[in-house]
Amino acid sequence: MFDKLQSDYLRFLELEAALLDPALTSDVSRLTAMAKERSALAKVALPYGRYLELGKQIHEAEALCAAEPDFEMRAYAEAELESLRTRHNEQGETLRDLIYDKQAGVDRPGLIVEIRAGAGGDEAALFARDLREMYQRFADQMRWTFEPLDMVTTELGGYREVSFSITGEGAFRYLQFESGGHRVQRVPVTETQGRIHTSAATVAILPEPEEVEIVIRTEDLQIDVMRAGGPGGQHQNKTESGVRITHLPSGIVVNCRDERSQHKNKAKAMRILRSRLYDQVEEKARSERAEARRTLIGSGDRSQRIRTYNFPQNRVTDHRIGLTMHNLDRVMQGELAPLTTALIDHDRREQLGEV
């Protein structure tokens, strides 16, 4: 890990020196390329430079402590040395986080979440609604932007399927491991005998790529319009504002009916399509990464049951890392950070060879 850091740091210093050369201003294309490379390296190179400087200061402080004959001065120097070691360790952790984010590709600001009701009928659809509300509350707590994209509702107010985007600093990092099967155990509102039922919903977390990352050709699309229906009232029921886009090469079909404007629904459908296509490209890399590690965390496997929400016992269990917490009521109110942070920490230690 630090060998790569060292080589990137040396290259960063080389670029820093080269960019100071006045002769470079005459070669605009080369200047632009070098400035872009320097900017990309700076995110890790600058913290690594601080890490190296602290290491140098520690070495000097150790020599001073060993050579200092005065007891009081040596005690002062040892206290300073301890402070430097603490800062050095903290900087090392910061570097590990930066390297992890870069390797895992989680430094994206946005994602699209798709939730579909699974086994369990109306109760599964109500659980899909509860999951959607849980993620929206979490987004609100984290000061992220939550934007509805599409939904198919049921008579009881649940969702057969629902999609939305979340955008903000760290959003994908915190939610990257939510993909998979979510199981709920509780007494449904439709149950008259008070029996506990088990239902399920699936969640898909799709990183939202830049347009330049996924090029979609117009001739590869079949676009159909339809009456939107849903909660939009008479306007949606009377106008063909809903949009269905079929990507012919992949067979991916995306529907968007949430907006009253056909133009807005088409734009949202294209965002979802672009994310699904990008997810297909990334799936191979995720699978290869998961195969080389001890668990399937981060594999994005939709069929994997990842979490159980047991309402009678106020218990939530993440099966991938064996984590059980008895605060389901707070989790459903959006307090997801303890779960997501534990998953990130486990994945980080795996990826950096610490597990």
What pLDDT, in 10s, does the model give residues 296-352?
Answer: 455 545 567 899 999 999 999 999 999 999 999 999 999 999 999 999 888 877 776
> Does 76 lie in the same domain as 21?
yes
Q: Could you give the number of structural domains in the chain?
A: 2
* CATH number (domain holding residue 305): 3.30.70.1660
Position 54 scores a pLDDT of: 94
Average pLDDT over every residue of 181-189: 92
> Does 178 lie in the same domain as 308?
yes
- Structure tokens, 278: 């990008």
Is residue 236 assigned to a domain? no
Is residue 232 assigned to a domain? no
pLDDT of residue 239 exceeding 80: no
pLDDT tens digits, one per residue of 48-66: 999 999 999 999 999 989 8
Position 290 scores a pLDDT of: 54
Is residue 247 assigned to a domain? no
> Does 206 lie in the same domain as 122?
yes
Is residue 270 assigned to a domain? no
The Cα 250–Cα 164 span in angstroms is 22
Position 246 scores a pLDDT of: 92
Average pLDDT over every residue of 120-130: 94
Average pLDDT over every residue of 193-218: 83
pLDDT of residue 188 exceeding 60: yes
Is residue 267 assigned to a domain? no
Average pLDDT over every residue of 119-143: 95
332 C-beta neighbours (distance < 10 Å), count: 18
The Cα 117–Cα 123 span in angstroms is 9
- Structure tokens, 226: 């339809």
Closest CA to 95 of 289, 355, 348: 348
CA dist list (Å): 68 to 77, 80, 97, 133, 275: 9, 14, 37, 62, 62
pLDDT of residue 19 exceeding 80: yes
Is residue 216 assigned to a domain? no
The domain in which residue 311 lies consists of: 110-211+280-351
pLDDT tens digits, one per residue of 35-45: 988 988 898 89
Share of the chain above pLDDT 70, in %: 85
pLDDT of residue 232 exceeding 50: no
Share the mean pLDDT of the chain.
85
Quickly state the pLDDT bin for 233 (edges 50, 70, 90): very low
Amino acid letter, residue 180: G
Is residue 219 assigned to a domain? no
> Does 119 lie in the same domain as 88?
no
Share of the chain above pLDDT 90, in %: 45
Lowest mean pLDDT among 37-51, 117-131, 176-190, 250-264: 250-264
Position 212 scores a pLDDT of: 53
Amino acid letter, residue 246: T
Listed residues 51, 73, 104: the one ending a domain: 104
Listed residues 80, 104, 128: the one ending a domain: 104
- ∠ CA 183-115-178, nearest 5°, is 65
Quickly state the pLDDT bin for 289 (edges 50, 70, 90): low
> Does 172 lie in the same domain as 114?
yes
Listed residues 104, 130, 149: the one ending a domain: 104
Identify the residue with better confidence: 291 or 347.
Answer: 347
> Does 204 lie in the same domain as 144?
yes
Position 191 scores a pLDDT of: 75
Identify the residue with better confidence: 194 or 341.
Answer: 341
Is residue 312 assigned to a domain? yes
Average pLDDT over every residue of 271-288: 77
Quickly state the pLDDT bin for 104 (edges 50, 70, 90): low
> Does 171 lie in the same domain as 30?
no
Identify the residue with better confidence: 108 or 207.
Answer: 207
> Does 162 lie in the same domain as 91?
no
pLDDT tens digits, one per residue of 105-123: 666 778 999 999 998 889 9
> Does 163 lie in the same domain as 50?
no
> Does 326 lie in the same domain as 182?
yes
Position 312 scores a pLDDT of: 95
> Does 115 lie in the same domain as 75?
no
pLDDT tens digits, one per residue of 66-101: 888 888 888 988 999 999 999 999 998 888 777 777
> Does 94 lie in the same domain as 41?
yes
Helices 28-67/71-104 angle, 10° precision: 150
pTM of the model as a whole: 0.68
The Cα 150–Cα 269 span in angstroms is 9
Position 288 scores a pLDDT of: 58
Closest CA to 267 of 223, 234, 227: 223
Q: What is the largest CA-CA distance in the chain?
A: 90
